[in-house]
Structure 1
Amino acid sequence: MDFHLVPRGEDRNYTGFLTKTIVYTASLIVFFVSFGLTVASIVIPKWVTYHDQEPSIYYSYGLHRRCSSVNGQCHPFPQREDCHGSDRYFCSMWRSVGFLMSFAVVLEGMSMVAFLIVLSGGKRLRENGWKVLSLLIILSAVVQAASMALMAYLFDNEKRFFVGWRLDESWIYCTASWCVSLVCAAALILAAQTLPSEGGYELIPDQL
């Protein structure tokens, strides 16, 4: 008995194409939210804050700026004078968090480019692009999780952060960002493992 390759049904092809496109598009939209949270955590100088009601005093530390209600201004941080003696360890760790978050932005940017390439590509990219894409997303999430953990460690062990200081919204943004990224990666992996193929060719026997 001979077999021949014949195209699968057009409806089946279209359904597979539409389903995978919807998954990639929805994941990209959600990932944009994650990217926005990452950028906000870097731009907003509120990783660690202190607020005293009486008298009203407010201090906040961002990755690259330190703000105070005493003079109502923000200044670059850490500066050279902040990194002498025992503070050198703190400065190195703080700058490491800043570097990791910047690296996470680069990885997220690469992920969004990969999203666009997959969406604009053909069947082969939609079928296999999730592997590289999910890897990039997971790497960005791991880098942000490391930044979050490192900042929490500094907050718990640095003597300058006494009672009244707290981890604030930028730290929360970072945490939410990598959690959302992991959800995106999980959705892509799950879709790739469970959704049917877009179609192609199948074997049918010759009629005797």
Structure 2
Amino acid sequence: MTRVAVYSGALVGFVAATVMIISSIALPNWVTYSVTTANGDTLQKRIGLHKSCSSLDDPPCRPFPYRELCQEGQRYFCSMWKTVGFMAAVAAVLCLGTLVAFAVVMKGGKYKRETGWRFVAIMVSLVSAVEFVIISIVAYLYDNDDQFMVPGWNLDASWIISTVSAAICLLIAVGLAASAYLLPPEEGYDFLDDPIGS
């Protein structure tokens, strides 16, 4: 059965995964373009889920995808990218719900810990699934959209962080399920000595 130590370890891992998810949403580092000119200057453009930053623009950052991009035959890209941004927000909300589920199950006593692992594992699996969909869509757009065909574009830190976070969530779900079936019951009953029979 799942024990407090198992839940505690899973919670620590899930908090780390949640921080990674929020960081990947906040940082504009999903896809990055970097090239060094003949003069030795480095030109950079960083694309995040909601904003794009460029060393050539003033101000350097602006909302992404921007209106001009969406009107120049890139409506498919814009729709997909906005869907990714929305799904990332859903993943963050699911993370908060999962943290509440962890708290309820861990504080609910032995019975809730023994039976609540299914709900927690399903929530963590759902977060992982949403994240895998997000990183898959971004990878697909990176591989197939014309704007990324110019050499110098790369999937960057936010994509990597999100991938690691999704993998951690998947491992947590598998670990909770495995511990529920493989570990002996928590704090089993002890037989008392019979003072009359001795």
- Return the TM-score normalized by structure 2: 0.89
1:134-180 CA distance string (max 9 Å, x none): 00000110000000000000001110112110000000011000000
Counterparts of 2:48 and 2:34, CA distance in 1: 15
Unaligned runs of 5+ in 1: 1-15
Query: 1:129 Cα shift?
Result: 0.6
Secondary structure of the corresponding residue to residue 98 of structure 2: helix
Query: 1:187 Cα shift?
Result: 1.0
Partner of 2:182: 194
- AA aligned to 2:99 is M
Q: Deviation above 6 Å: which 4+ runs of structure 1?
A: none
Partner of 1:48: 31
State yes or no: 1:168 paired with 2:156: yes
Query: 1:122 Cα shift?
Result: 1.4
Query: 1:56 Cα shift?
Result: 1.4
Bigger RCO of structures 1 and 2 (CA < 8 A, at least 6 apart): 1
- AA aligned to 2:11 is L
Change (3 A) 1:114 1:69: same
RMSD: 1.8
Partner of 1:65: 51
- Return the TM-score normalized by structure 1: 0.85
- AA aligned to 1:87 is Q
Aligned sequence identity (%): 40
Unaligned runs of 5+ in 2: 192-196
State yes or no: 1:36 paired with 2:24: no
Partner of 2:172: 184
- AA aligned to 1:39 is I
- AA aligned to 1:100 is M
1:110 aligned to which of 82, 97, 114? 97
- AA aligned to 1:74 is C
Partner of 2:5: 22
- AA aligned to 1:26 is G
